Homo-oligomer: A and B are copies of this chain.
Amino acid sequence: MKLSTRTRYGIRAVLELAENHGNRPLQLKIIAQRQDISVKYLEQLMAILKSAGLVRSIRGSKGGYILAKAPGQIRLNEVFNCLEGPLTTVECLEDEDYCARTADCVTKQLWAQVQYAIINILQSITLQDLVNRTKNSRKPDYQI
């Protein structure tokens, strides 16, 4: 139950874009430097985010990436879903016919509960929220 680097890197990259919001496009080269990720790998992650409609690319010289929406309009579960894949802790939550026990399966209900809790957190946080947290990181505005 570890996060893939895809997701971790991806969120960090998108966070860079959020901090850059309103300015000129940000190049992968810059993100790669700041976040210590290879440009080539970042390209692939951005391709995923782009096809999901979360970021926009500007090609050519002075090009780069920008967010497709304002940071306050992008919820973390959107980013998470397209990088980590749809958060399906167990198959049977998606596919009713996956197993015969499905009707009264108590473990299924359990995993649904866990999954819901995760989605709930990610849905409640926007990129803007994360940017704000960064700004006053000495004095966090939330409570774990």
Contacts and interface: CB of A to CB of B under 8 A. Distances in A.
Q: Which one of A8, A11, A111, A142 has the highest number of Cβ atoms from chain B below 10 Å of its Cβ?
A: A8
A90 B3 contact: yes
Contact of A106 (B3, B15, B111, B113): B15
B84 A1 contact: yes
A19 B15 CA distance: 48
Nearest to A120: B117
Number of this chain's copies in the complex: 2
Chain A interface size range: 35 or more
Contacts of A133: 106, 109
A112 interface: yes
B112 A2 contact: no
Interface string A79-93: 000001101111000
Contact of A107 (B2, B8, B117, B121): B8
8 contacts: A1-B3, A1-B87, A1-B89, A2-B89, A104-B134, A104-B137, A109-B144, A116-B144
Interface of A: 1-3, 8, 11-12, 15, 76, 84-85, 87-90, 104, 106-107, 109-114, 116-118, 120-122, 125, 130, 133-134, 137-138, 140, 142, 144
